[in-house]
Amino acid sequence: MASGVAAAVGIIALIAGVAGGFFAMGGNTIGDTGAPAERAGLSGTYTLGHVAPLSGDLSQYGNDGIAAARLAEADFNEYLESLGAEWRLALAHEDTQTNPALALDRITSLKARGVNAAIVYSSAAVNSIKGYVDANGMTVISGTSTAPQLAVAGDGVFRLVPDDTRQGPALAALMAGSGIEAIVPVWRSDTWGTGLEESAREAFEALGGTVAEGVPYNPESPALSVSASVLAERVEALVAEHGAERVAVLSISFAETLEIMQEASAHDALDGVAWFCTDGITGNTNLLADPIGLAFAETTRLRGTQPAAADTAQRADVEARLVEELGRIPNTYSFGVYDAVWLFGKSVLESGSDSPEAIRAALPLVASVHSGAVGHTELNEAGDLDSADYSIWGVEDGEWRVVATYMAASGAVVPA
């Protein structure tokens, strides 16, 4: 990646001034205890795009995320004030409606307004904009995109989550450890769903499991009643061979999981086996607010994965303030959105510029010494978060609860 003189100066100062520094509590602000002096020449407003699914299938993620982004914006500007800085960070919010094509429209609009960096959510959205982002030297930070296909070294995409080559083994270990011998996957046939289905399939087969022909569906026109009928037929075939207690459905879906379960509830074969889900729906409160969804989740002993929460004071502080605003615990990915704002702001601060070259050069080094709401934010060669433990969530007494943790180092699922 190219970098200018300002970026180089900032990076040198970063290593000298911040190495070893945590982000310590200062009132309600997570600030850098070893921050270098404010860069000369920084003034005015520096804008970060926030291209979020505020409506559509991922709206709960988008609305949790916008709350986290606004909180981070306020915290970072308070931090700048404490430094005596003469500039401020501002967010430009755009709704993708969970539509990848609209994500590209929003990114091009931001670029036309002089915005060179943005937070983007789903893998489908990132995939849609990636060519434009790289061709125009923009920087994208995502706290939710996990598709393995997007783990590309040297591009303009940085992700504060591990990619799904890590989640697939977590799902496989969970299912195998639950006594499951054979599964039928049902998944969104988009960038995210296809990548995660492949990862889970390979990992489960490596553990000796059987993966039957699955049921992909078009998220734009899902026809889920048809998908449920096909799914029931394939589950029945596996049950005849393995027994119902050894068969499961793996649902790789977003908010449409509720509709899938509503359709599945009409088939005896589908509520007679265990169901597993992924980070696309795990923790979603709308699923449990629906009587059919809740009953189906409890009957099928629904369990799912999410990246494990960091056990830090920073996360606890951010979570407490988001709970106060939202009235519930936010989804795990909200913390990546919070940290994305800080990483952009710190990259501007360290490099003395919001130019694409400066941000791309500074961001990985800023991330390597930052400790925020997701924990330590060091990135791997592909620019993705270099951590891989997963919390296992289950539905108990009408609520989502953490029931276990998948430990990547050992491959073990440890009960809570």
Question: What residue ranges do the domains of the chain occupy?
Answer: 5-161+309-376, 165-301+390-415
| pLDDT exceeds cutoff 50 at 24 | no
Distance from C-alpha of 40 to C-alpha of 104, rounded to nearest angstrom: 35
What is the average pLDDT value for the chain, to the nearest integer? 90
- Measured CA to CA, the distance from residue 184 to residue 286 in angstroms comes to 24
Contact between 368 and 160 under an 8 Å Cβ cutoff? The reply is: no
Reduced to 3 states, what is the DSSP secondary structure of residue 60?
helix
From residue 5, give the alpha-carbon distance in Å to each of 299, 322, 364. Answer: 61, 39, 17
Burial 69-105 (b: 16+ CB within 10 A, else e): bbbbbebbbebbeeeebebbbebeebbbbbbbebbbb
* The domains spanning 5-161+309-376 and 165-301+390-415 adopt the same CATH topology: yes
**pTM reported for the whole predicted model:** 0.85
pLDDT given at position 361: 94
pLDDT band (50, 70, 90) for residue 38: low
The encoded tokens of residue 303 equal: 């369990």
> For 238-280, what is each residue's pLDDT tens digit?
999 999 999 999 999 999 999 999 999 999 999 999 999 999 9
Task: Report phi then psi at 215, rounded to 5.
Answer: -130, 90
Q: How far is CA 260 from CA 200, 219, 254, 305, in A?
A: 20, 12, 10, 18
Query: What does the block give as tokens for 376?
Result: 């330590």
Helix (H, G, I), strand (E, B) or coil at 155: coil
pLDDT given at position 22: 30
The domain made up of 5-161+309-376 has a fold known as Rossmann fold (3.40.50)
Residue 278 to residue 167: CA distance in whole angstroms: 8
How many angstroms separate the CA atoms of 114 and 415, rounded?
49
Quote the CA–CA distance of 139 and 133 in Å, as a whole number: 7
Is-contact 285 328, C-beta < 8 A? yes
Instruction: Report the C-alpha gap between 68 and 63 in whole angstroms.
Output: 9
pLDDT of 41 reads 75
317 burial (CB, 10 Å; 0-12 / 13-18 / 19+) is: middle
d(Cα 360, Cα 3) in Å, to the nearest integer? 8
Sort residue 352 into left (φ over 0), alpha (ψ -120 to 50) or beta.
left
172, containing H or E segment: helix 164-177
Whether 237 shows a pLDDT value over 90: the answer reads yes
Which token pair is 350? Answer: 């360290």
Q: For 22-48, what is the mean pLDDT?
A: 57
- For 165-301+390-415, give the CATH class: alpha beta
Measured from the Cβ of residue 330, the count of other Cβ atoms closer than 10 Å reads 24
